[in-house]
Structure 1
Amino acid sequence: MTGPTASAALGAVTTVVFDVGETLVRDDRYWGSWADWLGVPRHTLSALVGAVVAQGRDNQEALRLARPGIDVAAERARREAAGRGEHLDESDLYEDVRPALAALRDAGFAVHVAGNQTARAGALLRAMELPAETVSTSEEWGCAKPEAAFFARVLETTGSAPAATLYVGDHPARDVGPASDAGLRTCHLVRGPWGHLWAGWDDPPPDLRVTGLRELAKVLTEGR
């Protein structure tokens, strides 16, 4: 849903919360670096990630398929110790992120970031000084989407009412569905593999569906 109807339906929204992977940042570097570390072709690991997510499994299962028996947390620590740990910089951001988030803040919306990421990713994102009040990750909170506890922490962090809070993400089953169950308004972003795979998802239907963050900012700021 886009245009005037969506704008009217979301008129009570005062707070916008963004997912991270394939919403604000591309996941190319993350999975490519894991493939290089494990010594498997990047295409192989990428295909495995797509397969497990399409099956409704956690994307970390792709690492366990590529290397059976792997202890992901221990392997992540070894990568960090070897100087090949997780990295994020400006080149990982989608080009519409800064202008869209800034436009929303300028229009009076509270902007927050909360996704299923590591604590290190949270620190890296905060160092990038995005136009957002807070940046939080599942590892820092000790709970992850699609758990109800994650969205309870979203509301605790933003201090906003569920009906006044819009959660924006690319994954229907981990973003739209559980956010809606928690009473939040929802926006499905059709980009990245999951956004395109489930572009027609309608169970439950999102309050808004967009193909980019500039479009989102335009819809929300109309008439303000």
Structure 2
Amino acid sequence: MLTSANEPSVGPWAQRRRGRRRAARDPGAFPDRRARVSRRWFCFDVGETLINETRLWGLWADACGVSPLTMAAATGATIALERSHQDAFALVGVPDWREREPQVQAAYGGFAARDLYPDALPTLATLAAAGYRIAVMGNQPAHRHGELAAIGVTPDVMAMSQAMGPEKPDPAFFTVALRLMGDPDPHDVAYVGDRVDNDVGPSAAAGMRPVWVRRGPWGVLHEDCHGHARLVVRSLRELVDRVDEVWA
């Protein structure tokens, strides 16, 4: 987790790993593969990677006075037109959507356990148990950090873009992300996300290994025209099953 924008803290998965290392008095007890894994990172996006945003978009539909299907269609149109998802509000006739945001956020109440994709926590735990370092960094308000921790997302490092400064797809986001992870070799970092424009392309440009999760509106409608993704999966469970392909 991250206690401030500049100070990474150690999550419980990292503490358990360190405990296992201290317990092993023989440095040769760990196989070579585990030594390689221990310096590698999986850095996860948040929305539509760990968190299913269907409930939030449903509340926005209610606030805009349209059906969830209409809101979904407007969002899909902005994706197809390569426009900001915020333009969806104008498409449904609500250009003043920001005035309704307090109402929506109050009804939403923040991330809840029911918003996690079913494979989110098991994937983080499985990768951590295998020796990988885990980070969670995405375009989110700073308060999402505490909400994620409260529902069991406790990686080695966690930071939201509002606390980090830059947002994706700004290359500076990935520069800050690497710094918060302790400046690993970018090639030892797999960035996992659902969007080609925010996640796959920019993380590849930063020297990371992009993993594209094709779920959620952007994951389904986007196309990786430049072939930047090191691995393409339909779920995080599939990522666990094919993890060696990320590093091949």
TM class, shorter-chain normalised? 0.7 to 0.9
List structure 1 runs of 4+ shifted beyond 6 angstroms.
Answer: 10-13
**1:185 CA drift (Å):** 1.1
Q: Residue 239 of structure 2: SS of its match in structure 1? A: helix
Q: Residue 180 of structure 2: SS of its match in structure 1? A: helix
How many residue pairs match? The answer is 211
1:76 aligns with 2:101: yes
> Which 5+ residue runs of structure 1 have no aligned equivalent?
1-9
- Max Rg structure: 2
Judge conservation of contact 1:52–1:59 (CA < 8 Å) in 2. yes
1:156 aligns with 2:179: yes
Residue from 101, 112, 123 that aligns with 1:89: 112
> RMSD between aligned alpha carbons?
2.6
Q: Structure 2 matches for 1:54-69, cutoff 5 A?
A: 54-69=80-95
Greater Cα shift, 117-126 or 95-104: 117-126
What residue identity is the alignment partner of 1:142?
A: G
Q: Residue 145 of structure 1: SS of its match in structure 2? A: coil
Aligned CA distance change for structure 1 residues 181 and 57 (closer, same or farther; 3 Å): same
CA distance in 1, matches of 2:97, 2:53: 21
Judge conservation of contact 2:51–2:116 (CA < 8 Å) in 1. yes
Judge conservation of contact 2:186–2:208 (CA < 8 Å) in 1. yes
Judge conservation of contact 1:107–1:221 (CA < 8 Å) in 2. no
Q: Relative contact order: is structure 1 or structure 2 higher (C-alpha 8 Å, sep ≥ 6)?
A: 1
1:105 maps to what in 2?
128
**1:158 CA drift (Å):** 1.2
What residue identity is the alignment partner of 2:196?
A: P
Percent identical among aligned pairs is 36
> Which 5+ residue runs of structure 2 have no aligned equivalent?
1-35
Judge conservation of contact 1:86–1:120 (CA < 8 Å) in 2. no
Greater Cα shift, 85-94 or 107-116: 85-94
1:33 maps to what in 2?
59
Residue from 201, 210, 219 that aligns with 1:195: 219
1:141 aligns with 2:164: yes
1:18 maps to what in 2?
44
